[in-house]
Structure 1
């Protein structure tokens, strides 16, 4: 698929910098293996920090989940690249498991499984661009995701993009996880 370049934006301090320009690319499932080490590194930087505070091995397992999900129906993977460096990623698949966990009837569901932006690249709109690129390719009537209920920046992004809380469930180590839903007008 053709690359979708992101436009440079001012960062958190109003300055243009090295992380201000990233190319958002949709990566075909056949090329996912080329990104696994970089996905593990970004996930390690993101998911070992609060509020997730996952052990390093659990955080890095995002790459294994990505590889396992690549053959799934509706698989979509978006990468934020600065040159050859991965700054962030998002991926999802067609899946109704979260609808069932939220006591909803499944209806052509898509689950945004992971979205992460490396800390040095935050504040430049990459999370929004990854989110939008991923969901633009996901025909669905209901989109689902799971996040930490104290992930302030992520919750802000999701709410601004039309997501709403659907259920609160226990997650790993019995820590709470928020299931969110975004319904489209398809």
Structure 2
């Protein structure tokens, strides 16, 4: 098994990858901390499909040979800025990031993250994650994200913000505990 290659995929070409995205989601989001039922974990592909036509859609995939081992995507959206009661504008939301467990700790998630955000353009970036997802939160913090609020929809959901691409804030705006 060689290193993963990370590439951008156009919205027009993304539909062909939906079964593989569902498979990755099924292997990732059924595990701790998410522990989603398999049908729900695989529904990440349906969410991606629903977002294909959104403004600023960006999809990056990681492949080893011809196997999809990870994906990350997002689009222009200010709903998390509104939920966090912060100013909004040309916001980008990182909607999903998933890497097969066999590829965890190999830099695949970081490469996907960076490729998606680089392609997203300038402006504040947002995401929602589970506060128990310590590895993901560690990745996000190393890349300049700050926890800013609990998601008002309830459950263990944390809103994170990255104000400027490449910025490394000294401390979080919102205490996660």
Contact 1:29/1:71 (CA < 8 Å) preserved in 2?
yes
Of residues 94, 114, 117 in structure 2, which corresponds to 1:112?
A: 94
Q: Find the aligned partners of 1:170 and 1:61 in 2 and give their Cα distance.
A: 22
Q: Find the aligned partners of 1:122 and 1:185 in 2 and give their Cα distance.
A: 24
For normalisation by structure 1, the TM-score amounts to 0.86
Contact 2:83/2:152 (CA < 8 Å) preserved in 1?
no
Contact 2:11/2:53 (CA < 8 Å) preserved in 1?
yes
Is 1:142 equivalent to 2:124 in the alignment? yes
Q: Find the aligned partners of 1:144 and 1:88 in 2 and give their Cα distance.
A: 20
Cα offset, 1:169, TM superposition: 2.2
Q: Find the aligned partners of 1:48 and 1:154 in 2 and give their Cα distance.
A: 15
Deviating 4+ runs (over 6 angstroms): none
Q: Find the aligned partners of 1:138 and 1:176 in 2 and give their Cα distance.
A: 27
Q: Find the aligned partners of 1:53 and 1:97 in 2 and give their Cα distance.
A: 25
Is 1:87 equivalent to 2:48 in the alignment? no
Cα offset, 1:185, TM superposition: 6.5
Q: Find the aligned partners of 2:151 and 2:76 in 1 and give their Cα distance.
A: 21
Contact 1:170/1:176 (CA < 8 Å) preserved in 2?
no
| SS of residue paired to 1:100 | helix
Listed one character per residue, the Cα deviations across residues 42-89 of structure 1 (whole Å, up to 9, x for unaligned) are: 001111111111111111110001111011100000000111100100
State the Cα RMSD in Å: 1.4
Contact 2:59/2:71 (CA < 8 Å) preserved in 1?
yes
Of residues 92, 95, 104 in structure 2, which corresponds to 1:122?
A: 104
Q: Aligned residue for 2:139?
A: 157
Contact 1:81/1:87 (CA < 8 Å) preserved in 2?
yes
Cα offset, 1:170, TM superposition: 5.3
Q: Find the aligned partners of 1:144 and 1:137 in 2 and give their Cα distance.
A: 15
**Any gaps of 5 or more consecutive residues in structure 1?**
1-17
Of residues 36, 43, 47 in structure 2, which corresponds to 1:54?
A: 36
Is 1:64 equivalent to 2:46 in the alignment? yes
